[in-house]
Structure 1
Amino acid sequence: MGSAIQTSLVLALFTAMAIRPPRPRHSSPFNLQFAFGYLINEQPFLGGLWLATGTWDLLTAAPSGLLWWLVAALTTADAAALAWLAVRTRSARPALTAALLATYGEPGRPRATRPVWWRVLLVPFISWRPDVRRVRNRRYGPARRGNRLDVYLSRRRRPSSAPVLVYIHGGGFRIGNKMIGARPLIYRLAARGWVCVSLDHRLIGVDYADQLGDTRAALAWIRAHIGAYGGDPNAIVLAGGSSGAHLASTAALSGEEVLGVIGIYGYYGGVGGAGTGPASPHEAITPDAPPFLIIHGTLDTLVLREDARAFAQRLRAVSRRPVTYAELPGAQHSFDLFHSLRFTAVSDAIVRFLELTLATDTTLARTHHRSRPGTSGGPAAVGATVRAHDRRPR
């Protein structure tokens, strides 16, 4: 009886924090609202499993007293709240679609894919799939652990001049790992012929300038070596979550040539220890910025949506390239860590953004060539570029 009451009460607290967490006054690396509400918010099905296993024995017995009815009432309320959280995740797709349509018009509409239900319900934290090979721990700098990256490749397709997605993990610039963040997206793209890279950077005993330097060093290694894995060094898209979005955005805005940037629940504010370089993406905004896709949750308690929205608005006011900003109703921080209904919709939107970005880059390359009739390579070279970049994920 006691364990059933405890289960129902704890879940009531967690679901309350998930449905409407108290909003902090400013962005921060950690708070209790996130700790209590995050997992249930993003994985209400796991909450339902926990609730069922914790109360099943009591509730399947004959009613016996006030405590039984109390547990029954709490369990019913918890189940209803979890169902509401599951339904709320469906609001991500309309929000993402609206954001892409506002930027690109009807071509921006993403194709909806079905969630892999057995992963969502049974093994949401496992993204491994047999048709993707991970080449581990390629060293791109002198640091023993902090300067390593993994390359993800399709086992069924041999990439050739394939576009490259580079992902930088989050963790408040102090924790994190290249094995954490956007795994479902990375495996999905790699299985479809992309070359994907997830990198570590130094965390302890370094400042932001060092971490930005690690990002640049990793990109230099990728440009020099990714061809050996079938990737196109001239077709790189940077992505990152939280502090990784900060590093990706700052690197792209301050000189690194990439086709696009994807910021997922990103922090874009100032940091200490920036040295002589930019301390935030805000300081590096330029009209020549690449296309951006910025995705943020309305209930993010670690990085407030107002901060992400302000960066998107400022970037959009200056950049000559598309800037898409989408707020996901009810989403918390770190919603890309596992398979879920919400991240399936996010992945579909990212895939469409990548398709449009590659198509735009190919069009610009063709236009640039035609404007310079003396350029070496001729139409065949441009056609090869189009074919190489047309290996798009479906």
Structure 2
Amino acid sequence: MFLLSLIWAWTAWNIYRPYRRSPELLGVISFIFGVIVGEFGLHVIAVEVALTVLIILFGELSGLGDAVGLIIALGSWLAIGVFYFRAQRAEPIMAQAVRDALGLNPDQPLNTSDSLQINPDFKRLLKPFAYRLPGVTRHKNIEYCTVNGRSLKLDIYHRDDLPENAPVLYQMHGGAWLENCGSKNEQALPLMNQLAANGWVCVAIEYRLSPGSTFPEHIIDCKRGLSWVKDHIADYGGNPDFVIATGGSAGGHLSTLLALSANAPEFQPGFEDANTEVQGCVPFYGVYDFLNSQNQRSAGESLSQWISAKVLKHTRAEKPELWRQASPLYWVHKDAPPFLIIHGEADTLVPVAESQELYKALHAVSKQPVAYAELPDAQHAFEIGISLRTQIVVNQLCVYLDELYRRHLQALSMQATADVTDDDTAKIDDATERNTDEAQT
């Protein structure tokens, strides 16, 4: 019991003091246990309590050491429980980020639909991997293109009643750009299912991965997928004129690069005329500067080493222009779409400085609102399951994205009204001119 309690104590310590130094392998271990214990702490406590009860029932608890171990275990459970409910600190941060991302002044109200779920649903916390919601349909493995004989597929989520002219979320998965490290099947599921239940159409794509593929093939596939969405999503109830890009980690990098490089011919070989604009971007904990120009990744260079060896297959010295081309930070421009950037303060894989630098660059030049939410205690991939923090973030994002779409439709309506007014004015002017001519004759 004593040794077991020490392990439990370390997992509790780790969520409060995640490891961010070299060697980076320890940061990966800190990440794994940080997500499990930090996001699903109540379940962890339940399992550890059950094990302790079994130890007692089998008479394996005896002596001073085990008594001390039991006290340590009790302290660990208390620490984990407190940490779990500290996730509620994300709510005001996300709420303010949403207001900033919408460009609202402090005295401007934010009108939310009565149908939106704002507060966490505590019943859903009992089953953190029960992603599916009633009334949501998923179409799996729809082919969007074939490259070198390989079929690339996507999944589509929408409400059973197939809404018309629904806004679209376009999701790119993470996994370090590497084969067997991530797929469309297990990422962003809380967000996509919630949005689909709210009337959105959500698309999750797969793309070619390294080392079998080399950049820019990853982003080219994402652009091909977006082109397919523009051409076909209306068949599933989606509005091809309103697409929001999102993704986490490598997907955060790709979604940001996609949003900032709209219609860039170097990323659209053979489909240069396709429209690859999006109307917004919500990247999670991505790598945005491969060049590490601000020393964001000061703890070590293993990330740059595997980008060089596996993804770009050239060193920075060999092809600095390729490293720059792959970095969203260097694609920032004044006509970028709206951005809401999200990163966990406790991320041990990708430092928050990556998102901070992207936010600074966008905020300095973009004509559209830009916001950044740095979430206390949140690890990399914190939203992999339905945790308290995940529900808070997802619910606030639903508010933000719905308001973006409402404004989009409002702008179209105002433009249509203006066009009609211009037509009517032109007709009146023509009629007046004819009457004047007739009077003169």
Q: TM-score, normalised by structure 2?
A: 0.78
| Shift in CA distance, 22/109, structure 1 to aligned 2, threshold 3 Å | farther
Equivalent residue number for residue 87 of structure 1: 85
Give SS of 2:233's match.
helix
Give the alignment's Cα RMSD to 1 decimal: 2.6
Give SS of 2:142's match.
strand
CA distance in 2, matches of 1:301, 1:192: 33
CA distance in 2, matches of 1:368, 1:28: 55
| Shift in CA distance, 374/219, structure 1 to aligned 2, threshold 3 Å | farther
| Shift in CA distance, 375/348, structure 1 to aligned 2, threshold 3 Å | farther
Query: Is this contact kept in 1: 2:119–2:395, CA < 8 A?
Result: no
Q: What per-residue deviation string (whole Å, max 9, x for no partner) do you get for residues 121-157 of structure 1?
A: 2x212202341111110111214767110011211x2
| Shift in CA distance, 367/27, structure 1 to aligned 2, threshold 3 Å | farther
| Shift in CA distance, 29/75, structure 1 to aligned 2, threshold 3 Å | closer
User: What are the equivalent positions in structure 2 for 1:25-104 lying under 5 Å apart?
Assistant: 31-59=28-56, 64-102=62-100, 103-104=103-104
CA distance in 2, matches of 1:313, 1:322: 12
User: In terms of mean alpha carbon deviation, does 131-140 or 48-57 score higher?
Assistant: 48-57
CA distance in 1, matches of 2:254, 2:246: 9
| Shift in CA distance, 216/109, structure 1 to aligned 2, threshold 3 Å | same
Question: Is 1:140 equivalent to 2:144 in the alignment?
Answer: yes
Question: 1:276 deviation in Å?
Answer: 9.7
Query: Is this contact kept in 2: 1:168–1:178, CA < 8 A?
Result: yes
User: In terms of mean alpha carbon deviation, does 135-144 or 267-276 score higher?
Assistant: 267-276
- Counterpart selection for 1:225 from 220, 223, 232: 232
CA distance in 1, matches of 2:216, 2:224: 12
Question: 1:193 deviation in Å?
Answer: 1.5
Equivalent residue number for residue 135 of structure 2: 131
CA distance in 2, matches of 1:51, 1:165: 39
User: Larger C-alpha radius of gyration, 1 or 2?
Assistant: 2
Question: 1:215 deviation in Å?
Answer: 0.3
CA distance in 1, matches of 2:374, 2:97: 9
AA of the residue aligned to 2:206: D
- Counterpart selection for 1:263 from 264, 283, 286: 283
AA of the residue aligned to 2:208: R
Question: Is 1:154 equivalent to 2:152 in the alignment?
Answer: no
Equivalent residue number for residue 125 of structure 2: 120
Give SS of 1:147's match.
strand
Query: Is this contact kept in 2: 1:139–1:147, CA < 8 A?
Result: yes
Where do 5+ consecutive residues of structure 1 fail to align? 377-394
Question: 1:88 deviation in Å?
Answer: 1.4
CA distance in 2, matches of 1:302, 1:374: 55
Q: What per-residue deviation string (whole Å, max 9, x for no partner) do you get for residues 290-328 of structure 1?
A: 111111111111111111111111111110001110110
- Counterpart selection for 2:12 from 12, 15, 31: 15
Query: Is this contact kept in 2: 1:293–1:353, CA < 8 A?
Result: no
CA distance in 2, matches of 1:287, 1:29: 40
Query: Is this contact kept in 1: 2:362–2:370, CA < 8 A?
Result: yes
Query: Is this contact kept in 1: 2:133–2:194, CA < 8 A?
Result: no
Q: Report the number of matched residues.
A: 371
Equivalent residue number for residue 296 of structure 1: 343
AA of the residue aligned to 1:55: T
Equivalent residue number for residue 376 of structure 2: 329
AA of the residue aligned to 1:354: L
Question: 1:10 deviation in Å?
Answer: 1.8
User: In terms of mean alpha carbon deviation, does 272-281 or 350-359 score higher?
Assistant: 272-281
Equivalent residue number for residue 187 of structure 2: 181
| Shift in CA distance, 217/276, structure 1 to aligned 2, threshold 3 Å | farther
| Shift in CA distance, 137/53, structure 1 to aligned 2, threshold 3 Å | same
Question: 1:360 deviation in Å?
Answer: 2.6
Equivalent residue number for residue 382 of structure 1: none
Question: Is 1:365 equivalent to 2:372 in the alignment?
Answer: no
CA distance in 1, matches of 2:242, 2:282: 14
Query: Is this contact kept in 2: 1:161–1:230, CA < 8 A?
Result: yes
Query: Is this contact kept in 2: 1:152–1:197, CA < 8 A?
Result: yes
AA of the residue aligned to 2:281: V
Identical pairs, percent: 32
AA of the residue aligned to 2:41: P
Equivalent residue number for residue 381 of structure 1: none
Where do 5+ consecutive residues of structure 2 fail to align? 263-275, 291-306, 313-320, 424-441
